Amino acid sequence: MTATVPDLEGKTFGTSEPYVVERAKIIEFATAIHAAHPYHYDADAARAAGYRDVIAPPTFTAVVQAGIIEQMFAEMGITPDPTSLVAVHTSETMTVTEPVTAGDRLTARLVVAEITRRGPAAFLTLRCHIVGADGNERVEVVSTVVVGPPPEE
């Protein structure tokens, strides 16, 4: 069986509303991933280092991307149904221009940059741009997702 993936190359998905970064959410996320740096927990330490408030670990941007990834998967027919297409996140790189801090209002734009078909699978290269309310890009995330047919029983 081959994965029938719609040709979404070049398609853009975006957030409809800004994601407001809360200090408590940064602390919760940093705790969950065992991030040890005090700048993730202590606003005074972060400000003394020149940041506006506590800073989020770079992978916090997954929270901002979640909704648009869902949009893309829905358009591709990927659902929790085990008989639908299956997606596996295989790689990711992040370029942080400016750390995400508590109080930021972020939007995201995801572009399906490339689709490469190999055997029954499709490899999607995704570029997601996380932008602050000032219009400046904070983080660019480039990831690869492999989409394949459901496992045969």
Whole-prediction pTM value?
0.86
Q: Identify which of 121, 107, 116 has the alpha carbon closest to the alpha carbon of residue 150.
A: 121
Give CA–CA dist 29/21, Å, rounded.
11
Q: What is the dihedral of CA 45, 95, 90, 62, to 10 degrees?
A: 50
For the stretch 26-59, pLDDT in tens is 999 999 999 999 999 999 999 999 999 999 999 9
Alpha carbon of 85 to those of 73, 74, 126, 128, 152: distances in Å? 9, 11, 18, 22, 12
